[in-house]
Structure 1
Amino acid sequence: MVREITTYPTPPSVEYSTDVRVVTKEILSIIQDLKDTIKENSLEALAAFQIGEMYNIIVIKKKDSFFKIGEDDEYLELINPRIISTSDKITTVERTAYFPDLSAKVQRHKNISIIYEDVNLKQHTLKATGEESILLQRKVDYTFGSSFINKLSKEEKKLFVKKLEFGSDIAISENCPTSFKRDYLIKIINIIMIAMALLVIVSLFVSNKSTLDSIWSYQLNIFYVAFGLLIFYFFYAQYEGKQFTSCTSCQIGNIIGTSVIMLVKLLLIMLISFFVIN
């Protein structure tokens, strides 16, 4: 039966998973549910805690690249697994179904040795390296009522807490960026307004009605271009601001304020132009 996967913020129900002493129908049913849930969600592995069970059980889907152990079964069933030795620390970027769509940099061991029991409670040993090792370590964490968040460095944990808060895996920095692509649009609009102001000044020295009409026509066309760029800026700036979730609210305020100020300047120049040129 496919089970619902336990996700954050649901805490582990027990401090340590209960070791299996007797393989009952209940235990076999849990193992089958783990397999069904892995298959349904296209996962690599699940610990019993992840489907709300307290037993010390892990089920891993075998792949061509690893966990090709002698059994013909598609899954590797580990009952009461324990890591007995480790070597060579490495830093990995990990994802887990407990924190959907989020990742973190975790320090792990490249090589591990593990002991576990099968459904007949016969003991086995298993050596794993690389991806095998990382996957096993992550699942064993759950058997101790833990997750990778407890293994993060101080800086990485601080960053991951922000990811949890915003529900985003975007790398969140402590400060908003100081420059954006949208700033170029403001520069262009400012240059256009300077050109409009120069046309107003030039018109003061022109008395020919035909020439003034031409200047007014140019001024109108330039105004339309600047106004169109300002509208584009307003919507593009909001899109760009959403890429930095740690400071979205302050950016929205800045975007609205900048747009209003630019619009007032543009309309003021056009009002002056109407009375001076037209």
Structure 2
Amino acid sequence: MPFMSIRLIVKHPDAVLRERAQEVTKFNSNLHKLLDDMADTMYDADGVGLAAPQVGILKRVIVVDVGDEHELIELVNPEIVLAEGEQLGPEGCLSIPGLQGDVKRSNRIVIRGQDRNGKPIQYESTEFLSRAFQHEVDHLNGVLFIDTAESVYEARKPEENRQDGE
């Protein structure tokens, strides 16, 4: 098994979570290592998405895996170019443990960016994948789900309680 590198997830109210991330201009081994580490960190924390600012790096980089046929998606310099429809649903965040909120998002989006080598890529998504993309892009702009949630409440997931030893 390849060596895994788990990074520390920055927690709210750390100021780095409120800053706008910078565009990536160098597609090199440092970026590849960041993407690999972000994926390892996301999986280790049982997340479905992670943005570079959440590991303290102010770069426009996200990883998403909602457990569908796409598996792991890496996007560098992502940009939502089309958004339509509406959905309201619960969201949580690895940087805000213990809280969830009901957030209104576009139901269908088209997102463009680059892969780890700088090649242009595009995804069209709906439902949960669409929500995950929008949540992570918000992170790149210093926006957290608690800023836009219609309601915020304590997260209640039995599997999380067991992991916490309760």
Which TM-score applies when normalising by structure 1?
A: 0.51
Q: Which residue pairs with 1:145 in the alignment?
A: 142
Which secondary structure state, in structure 2, belongs to the residue aligned with residue 134 of structure 1?
helix
Higher fraction of strand = 2
- In the alignment, the residues of structure 2 paired with residue 28 and residue 125 of structure 1 have an alpha-carbon distance, to the nearest angstrom, of 19
Of the three residues 65, 71, 82, the one matched with 1:61 is 65
- In the alignment, the residues of structure 1 paired with residue 14 and residue 37 of structure 2 have an alpha-carbon distance, to the nearest angstrom, of 20
Of the three residues 81, 91, 101, the one matched with 1:104 is 101
Matched, 1:121 2:125: no
Q: CA deviation at 1:50?
A: 0.8
Matched, 1:89 2:75: no
- In the alignment, the residues of structure 1 paired with residue 149 and residue 18 of structure 2 have an alpha-carbon distance, to the nearest angstrom, of 21
Q: CA deviation at 1:27?
A: 1.2
Q: What number of residue pairs does the alignment pair up?
A: 152
Which secondary structure state, in structure 1, belongs to the residue aligned with residue 73 of structure 2?
strand
Q: Which residue pairs with 1:194 in the alignment?
A: none
Deviation beyond 2 Å, 4+ runs, structure 1: 11-15
Checking the alignment, whether the CA contact within 8 Å between 2:53 and 2:140 is kept in structure 1 is yes
- Residues 97 and 62 from structure 1, CA distance in 2 versus in 1: closer, same or farther, beyond 3 angstroms? closer
Which secondary structure state, in structure 1, belongs to the residue aligned with residue 85 of structure 2?
strand
- In the alignment, the residues of structure 2 paired with residue 95 and residue 39 of structure 1 have an alpha-carbon distance, to the nearest angstrom, of 15
Q: CA deviation at 1:39?
A: 2.2
5+ unaligned residues in a row in structure 1: which ranges? 171-278
What RMSD over aligned residues (CA atoms) do the two structures have, in Å? 1.8
Q: CA deviation at 1:61?
A: 2.5
Matched, 1:40 2:37: no
- In the alignment, the residues of structure 2 paired with residue 62 and residue 152 of structure 1 have an alpha-carbon distance, to the nearest angstrom, of 20
Q: CA deviation at 1:118?
A: 0.5
Q: Could you say which structure has the larger radius of gyration?
A: 1
- In the alignment, the residues of structure 2 paired with residue 26 and residue 62 of structure 1 have an alpha-carbon distance, to the nearest angstrom, of 25
5+ unaligned residues in a row in structure 2: which ranges? 157-166
AA in 2 matched with 1:151: T
AA in 2 matched with 1:149: I
Higher fraction of helix = 1
Counterparts of residues 1-278 of structure 1 (less than 5 Å): 1-12=5-16, 15-61=19-65, 63=67, 66=68, 68-69=69-70, 75-153=72-150, 156=151, 160=152, 168-169=154-155
Whose relative contact order is higher, 1 or 2, with alpha carbons under 8 Å and at least 6 apart? Answer: 2
- In the alignment, the residues of structure 2 paired with residue 92 and residue 109 of structure 1 have an alpha-carbon distance, to the nearest angstrom, of 11
Which TM-score applies when normalising by structure 2?
A: 0.83
Deviations 1:155-174 (A, max 9, x none): x3xxx3xx6xxxx458xxxx
Q: Percent of aligned positions with the same letter in both sequences?
A: 26
Which secondary structure state, in structure 2, belongs to the residue aligned with residue 99 of structure 1?
coil
Deviations 1:9-62 (A, max 9, x none): 212356321111111222111111101112222221211111111110011236
- In the alignment, the residues of structure 2 paired with residue 95 and residue 55 of structure 1 have an alpha-carbon distance, to the nearest angstrom, of 22
Checking the alignment, whether the CA contact within 8 Å between 1:78 and 1:118 is kept in structure 2 is yes
- In the alignment, the residues of structure 2 paired with residue 14 and residue 109 of structure 1 have an alpha-carbon distance, to the nearest angstrom, of 22
- In the alignment, the residues of structure 2 paired with residue 93 and residue 3 of structure 1 have an alpha-carbon distance, to the nearest angstrom, of 26
Q: Which residue pairs with 2:160 in the alignment?
A: none
- Residues 13 and 94 from structure 1, CA distance in 2 versus in 1: closer, same or farther, beyond 3 angstroms? closer
- In the alignment, the residues of structure 2 paired with residue 44 and residue 15 of structure 1 have an alpha-carbon distance, to the nearest angstrom, of 22
